[in-house]
Amino acid sequence: MERKLKIALIVLIILLISLVGFVGVYSKGVFSYKSTLPDYELSSELTGKRITYFKVDDGEEEKIYDKNGKEVEEIPEDANEEEYTKENVKINAEENLKIENYEKSKKILEGRLNDLGVEYYNIRLNENTGDMVVELDDNVITDTLLQYLLAKGDFSITDSEDGTLLLDRSDIKNVSVVYGNSETGAVIIYLDIKFNDKGAKKLEEVSRNYLKVEENAEGDEGEDSSNTEQKQVTMSIEGTEFLTSYFAEVMTNGELTIAVGTGTDDNTIYQYSTQAEVYTMLLNNDEMPLTYKIESTEYFSSNISMDTLYIIIGAIGAISLIIIIYLIIRFRIDGLFSSISFIAAMAMLLLMIRYTSTKISLGGMAAILVLILFDAYFMKKILESIKENKTLENVKYTTYGTYLQKLDIIITLLVIAVVFTFMPEVQVFSIGMTLFYGIISLVIANLLLMRGMLITKYEITKK
């Protein structure tokens, strides 16, 4: 009875893994159910790619200065225009057009793409002009990515009245996104800014000078004795005012936590989280030393349509189904157990591909087919040996002895997987990662799940 329960438990585990791997896990959103698993990512050969040409901006911009030589954004309506001067200056000063800034700009773009979780990109720099060619997979977020790449990434905390600079991005150590809950259960998204030693000292001083002013109690004659005006600071990110406020307390820990937004539904929470992640990406990388503009964009569509892709997936599924039917017809219960472990292996492989963000390519699909045939070959050898000799001892040995006898094939596949994994080309990388994760999945499924079910079955038979 215990052995039957063991088999039932293994089958239940496999069923759960298979459901998660092939169907997914969904949670109820506001309007529909949403997958809680990472989405599959397709390579550029399946989705197309976007090549964008970034050019160092050679244009001019107008600067306005008051009579004291201080730059202002615009001339006030009631001001005397003769007291202001206007000047056209280069957006990128000539002295900044040098190889150091070109290379720094490229490094910043790479850092931003890495922080945004973009694994596959290619940036080519013209060291003579500073122009860059950025190659990205073309998908629904490509336009947004390009917008973020063009951002300068400036940060400032200034006096809200006269614009005096109090802190800037050189005072920041790192920035992260944190989450909290309100008393009503809403999710609050925060931007947590940690300052370096110099910035922490400046933050403490600024918070003392811009501390919330408490109103004094009224005197005996009913007059308010408080004449102190509340001073406020303005925090700006990427030239946009983020907030204007005062400090409720003196900041002595060198850390400033600012609420980005509050949400009670998935869509709102996602939007504020994305906004906070963008701020984090901008502030955790250096400010761009140069201003770029998009000169042109080229889109290269995939030669493979989605219909063709579905046909390929269907063909792989059909081959798998034929193998399963063959095993069950020829080897009966043993074939059923092997088929169950085979399904579990494929489900685990799909989960690994999801969670490791491995790009799915034609090469990766070919690797999956190789793994299917590889597993079918070994399962056939194992079941044929068991069919000839149905002793428990033979079952225990042959379920792993077959792999030991063909260790050269396994090692060859592992070597190919490891070598391909370190290749820069997405298609080759996809083959390597798929093979590697597939071998791990097959080892777990066959040497643990299938072997466990077969041994338990023959233990019951022996009794």
The two tokens of residue 62 are 């107008």
pLDDT(29) > 70: no
Q: What is the pLDDT of residue 225?
A: 43
**By the 8 A CB rule, do 115 and 153 touch?**
no
Q: What is the pLDDT of residue 459?
A: 72
Most confident of 220-224, 268-272, 323-327, 423-427: 323-327
CATH architecture entry for 49-57+92-214+230-300: 2-Layer Sandwich (3.30)
pTM tops 0.95, yes or no: no
Q: What is the pLDDT of residue 274?
A: 83
Q: What is the pLDDT of residues 94-137, one digit of tens each?
A: 999 999 999 999 999 999 888 887 767 889 999 999 999 998 87
Q: What is the pLDDT of residue 196?
A: 94
Going from N- to C-terminal start, the domains of the chain cover: 2-39+304-462, 49-57+92-214+230-300
User: Is 290 or 116 the better-scoring residue by pLDDT?
Assistant: 290
Q: What is the pLDDT of residue 222?
A: 46
What percentage of the chain exceeds 90 in pLDDT? 23
The two tokens of residue 173 are 């150590």
pLDDT(72) > 80: no
Q: What is the pLDDT of residues 44-64, one digit of tens each?
A: 677 778 889 999 999 888 888
Assigned CATH topology for domain 2-39+304-462: Multidrug efflux transporter AcrB transmembrane fold (1.20.1640)
